[in-house]
Structure 1
Amino acid sequence: MKTIKILSTVAILLTAGFVSVAFINAKPPVKVVKPAFDGKGFAVVELFTSEGCSSCPAADAVVAKIEKESAGKPVYILAYHVDYWNRLGWKDVFSSADYSRRQNTYANWLNLSSVYTPQVVVNGRKEFVGSQEGTLRNAITAGIGKAGKATLALDGLKAADSQATVKYNADGAGENTALVLALVEKNATTVVKAGENGGRTLSHVQIVTKIQNIALNGHKSGEANIGLPKNFTAQNYEVIAFVQNVQNGEILAASRAVFPTVSASN
């Protein structure tokens, strides 16, 4: 499902000797507010996308631009490739039913009648079309400008025996919360051979390759494991985690951890 928006309305007025056409102008462009990275808040940007959707590459490009600009800042981008486009001619290698289920969970939390691609959800509470760059930038600014309701620290991330292990400490998480742990591939490229994007080479960033929810149940600290793919390299993967209210979807805190790399000997 793709979102279609009517940009202008045409009213045709007929008179005795001529035809006049009146256009109702589209809404003015969104005024973009520049974020101030002062350490008070954060922005978790969850993009629901698919290689089988012709509207999605534009949204992928927007989040790639923002990901590059916000390196080292409290902006956490996760791209989930949903699987419901796979039946239309191209199976997205990054897709998973888990991500489609997560998107449907957001539909319930946000009282939406349906899901669509490309869709972005920021900090679990605001959703819109993923290619709307101005709206996304303003949502990021709002998230960063508002202090989180909890804090999350990750430590000791390591990879061994086909799985990653990380320690976490979630202060102030409270009841009805879960730690959402995502393994993220930083970038990849696909040559799409069929479907709506057939013949295109698509570039992706911040691809979620595995996700799991860990109920906190009032316990603020612990150790979590997540499986690693066969093509894992420390340089091209990271872990993003956030604390989420499981009743309404609000994200209370977020953090990331990078895998240690071994320097080559001189």
Structure 2
Amino acid sequence: MTGLNPKRAGMLAAAGAALMMLGGTAFAQPLTVVELFTSQGCSSCPPANANLIKVKDEPGVLALSFNVTYWDYLGWKDIFGREEFTQRQVRYEPSLGRSGPFTPQVVVNGGADAVGAASGEIEQLISASGRTNGPTLSLDGGKISIGAGSAPAGSADVWLVRYNKGVLEVPVARGENTGRTLPHANVVHSLEKLGSWSGDATTLPLPAANGGLSTAVLVQAQGGGPILAAAAD
């Protein structure tokens, strides 16, 4: 069998890279999705928040902070907390072997979890979990394009995530973190189910983002199962 000479191989690799860049996210590589369930009312959460900040800019990592509501009774209402984020965490717990939700909790690709507060813990979970390996997924021209593949149990959910890319710092006036200013990475502001994917190539409209928020889309097995594919703008 005749192989390519090194010069020819290099030219083809460069051309492939250029095509990927021209498509924006249309040719995006699979991501590792790291979700941190956290609360400003939880004194154990700041170390996990800080650890998520460390990995948020790693290539191939989509890091998201979901602030939950069940610690609000301690005296501080989390300003980013949403009941739908709490319910997202609750749906994860049975498949992860947990008896109920807790904070902090890091979930990677919807299938593995850790507390996430120890140094290097999130990095280890990312390394062990790898990247999503489901259908191709792209966000381009106001639409979501999902390639053909195998949908667990015949159907998967398509989730739209709007988040504030970067780090936000919140001074806390009451509760367990009184007097502290807590940093948060890539804070999620909204979560919406857009539709479903049955395994056939599918296109869905992508609503325009408001307020300068960034966009991520997740294709995920139903009931809080594994994340099959993810893309972000």
Is 1:47 the equivalent of 2:27?
no
Unaligned runs of 5+ in 1: 1-38, 157-165, 258-266
Is 1:210 the equivalent of 2:196?
no
Deviations 1:7-51 (A, max 9, x none): xxxxxxxxxxxxxxxxxxxxxxxxxxxxxxxx8743100100000
Deviations 1:34-72 (A, max 9, x none): xxxxx874310010000010110100000001113x1xx
CA distance in 1, matches of 2:144, 2:84: 23
Give the alignment of 1:1-266 within 5 angstroms: 41-68=30-57, 70=58, 73-144=59-130, 148-156=133-141, 166-171=142-147, 172=149, 174=151, 175-186=154-165, 187-218=167-198, 220-225=202-207, 228=210, 232-233=211-212, 237-247=213-223, 249-257=225-233
Q: Is the 1:48–1:103 contact (alpha carbons within 8 Å) kept by the matching residues of 2?
A: yes
Normalized per residue, which structure has more helix? 2
CA distance 1:247–1:192, shift in 2 (3 Å): closer
2:87 is paired with a residue of what secondary structure? helix
Aligned length: 200
Match of 1:162 in 2: none
Q: CA RMSD in A?
A: 2.0
Q: Which has the larger radius of gyration?
A: 1
| Identity across the alignment (%) | 35
TM superposition shift of 1:151: 1.5
TM-score (structure 2 length as normaliser): 0.79
Q: Is the 1:176–1:247 contact (alpha carbons within 8 Å) kept by the matching residues of 2?
A: no
1:63 is paired with a residue of what secondary structure? helix
Q: Is the 1:41–1:143 contact (alpha carbons within 8 Å) kept by the matching residues of 2?
A: no
TM-score (structure 1 length as normaliser): 0.70
Structure number with greater CO (CA < 8 Å, separation at least 6) is: 2
CA distance in 1, matches of 2:64, 2:85: 11
TM superposition shift of 1:149: 2.1
Unaligned runs of 5+ in 2: 1-27
